[in-house]
Amino acid sequence: MLDIMKDSLFKTTVETGAALNRADPDLLGMTRSGGTPISTTFYNLVAKLETATGLKAERLLAKVLATCCSFAAVYVTFNWLLKKMDPTYEEKKKAHLQAKVMLKKLGIDERSLDEYEVAVAANLVDPTSFDVNWEQIGGLEDIKSDLQQTVIFPLKNFALLDNSRLMKPPRGVLLYGPPGCGKTMIAKATAKASGAKFINLELTTMMDKWYGESQKRVAAIFNLAHKIQPAIIFIDEIDSLLRVRDSHDHEATNMMKTQFMNYWDGLLTDNKSQVIIVGATNNRQALDQAILRRMPCQFYVAPPDQKQRQHILEIILFDEDVDEAVNLSAIAAGTEGFSGSDLHEACRVAASVRIRECIDLMNSTSSDSNSPTLSDEKIGTLRPISMNDLKIGIEKVQGNAIHSFLS
């Protein structure tokens, strides 16, 4: 078998040399020692190896093949072990497939991205898929007006403002305030209204267990944003990612933060950039001062006042069957300190009170109480949400808040 492989290899070399000689005799002169044909050089090399090692050509060929097979086996085994030892391998694989689907949906050519940019693309969100708009955000009229003026209009009319550096959109926007007041909704509505691509950046996207990989991921985030601009990079709970630096931080974490800010500075100096970083936090004081400097537009999203609470209640209950006797103004007055999220939960509890009544009725008339199922007729005859239902919802939310405070 080895003799056959040897003879075949020699024969192929001679035939190739002859073909080159017929095509262009000069090619055959491309040898290590001027004038020696390629086929002769190969034979001389084999002879020298046989003399140096004391092995015949077939034995040398066998050792070379065995070594190559060993290296290939070690490489395949090592890669397999790395995948099995990585607990996030399946998640990364799934994220990669998700990224391909989103890139295709947004009309972005995957071939123009490297592997790190494709990994970051798993955080891309189609802004047209957001089920939120400005009309669904109750209150906060001043913030909505400022964002439309400073962010949305410049992004949608970037060419019109190309000659002015002062009218370009800001490179950083910070939304801060108590939880549940609509910071994330504002960011989504801004992206949808401006038509910008939305990168919902998560901490796991930037962190990696291998040293130096986090810096590559940071670079991929900004490179991807530049390639698909206009784009909004949204960082929820930004204080957990870019908090105040101190001596207790790990070296890799400090390097990642520094590189993030360096790339952010690139946005500030690039007049053609249409990339905006939007951060949301409940704890503004925890942010590094260098980060705050890079976010000139800062909006405090305060808990809604009485008028805003009434507006929020009207939006939440717009499509619901509500009793005519319900006084939303009185409900708004009795929910001092409630956030928009609290009001939504109170209305959800109020709506479920009717379901509880139906379940109790079915349990009293049916022997099978393990899996109560409402028929279409029963659902169609549910009574409207009453004032008492809303009071029950408010009391439950207040009770949860008190319990959370005491614990």
Q: State which of 61, 85, 109 marks the end of a domain.
A: 85
DSSP assignment of 246-299 equals -TTS-HHHHHHHHHHHHHHHHHHH-TT--EEEEEEES-GGGB-HHHHHT--EEE
Per-state percent for the chain, helix, strand, coil, to nearest 5: 60, 10, 30
Of 190, 167, 140, give the one whose Cα is nearest residue 340: 140
Structure tokens that stand for 169 in this block = 């959109």
Is 166 in the same domain as 270?
Answer: yes
CATH number at residue 137: 3.40.50.300
CA distances from 71 to 2, 80, 81, 150 (A): 21, 14, 15, 59
Q: What is the count of structural domains for the chain? A: 3
Shared-domain flag, residues 156 and 288: yes
Are 62 and 8 contained in the same domain? yes
Q: Which of 282, 300, 318 is the last residue of a domain?
A: 300
Do residues 353 and 265 share a domain? Answer: no
15 shares its domain with 105: no
Q: What is the total residue count of the chain?
A: 407
Task: For 387-405, give one letter per residue: b (16+ CB within 10 A) or e.
Answer: bebbbbbbebbbeeeeeee
Report d(CA 137, CA 289) in Å as an integer. 30
318 and 295 part of one domain: no
What is the CATH classification number for the domain harbouring 364?
1.10.8.60
Per-position pLDDT tens, the chain of length 407: 445 544 554 454 444 444 444 444 444 444 444 455 656 776 676 676 667 666 666 676 777 788 889 889 988 888 878 777 766 666 667 777 777 777 787 777 777 777 788 888 888 888 888 888 888 787 788 888 888 888 888 888 877 777 777 777 888 899 998 888 888 888 888 888 888 888 888 777 777 667 777 788 888 888 888 888 888 889 888 888 787 777 676 777 778 788 888 888 876 667 777 888 899 998 888 888 888 888 888 999 888 888 888 888 988 888 888 888 888 899 988 888 888 889 999 999 988 888 887 777 776 666 555 555 655 555 557 788 889 988 988 988 887 654 343 33
Q: Of 266, 300, 334, which residue constitutes the final position of a domain? A: 300
The pLDDT value recorded for residue 174 is 92
Domain hosting 49: range is 2-85
